[in-house]
Structure 1
Amino acid sequence: MKMGEKELNIELIERMTRLESKVDMILMQCPQCQAAVRKHDADIAALTQNIDSTHQRIDTIYRTASIISAAIALFMQAAVFVWQGVRH
């Protein structure tokens, strides 16, 4: 008998729920596992903060580079304008 998509989804959800329950029970019975999970949570939080800080620094570098590029372009246009005015 073939299982329909809806029945398959229900079956998969039930199995995932049972697996999650078993993992939770294992973690509760294993203090070392709990400690490792807490450490990983702390490490992930620290890495997330580091990544956010790095993105802010990169954004600042891009803004600074854009301003410098605009200033150089403006200076070059002014120099060309002055040079052409001197030639005529």
Structure 2
Amino acid sequence: MYDYVDYILANYLSAKMGDSEKEAISALRAHISSNAELAEGIRNDLGGAMADEGYSWKEAFSRNDVVDFDDEIQARAYARSLLWDQLFVV
């Protein structure tokens, strides 16, 4: 559904990657600053997932081995602060 969301969670933020959040976000910023098509895709998918009440950030984080949350509200807030705010509001 939101392929770029799964892409960044699995390839940058997954615990399997071994990077800190700061390192992962820094690498992702560098990648999207050099690839306009990727940046647009991530912006569109993140915006869509944030606006989609049916999308579960809790499940997305868990599915991609990022972090487990007790509820959707926490997961959604974390997604906004970690991804949207760090990548597009800075």
Question: What TM-score does the superposition give when structure 1 sets the normalisation length?
Answer: 0.32
Greater relative contact order, per chain length (Cα 8 Å cut-off, separation 6+) = 2
More helix by share: 1
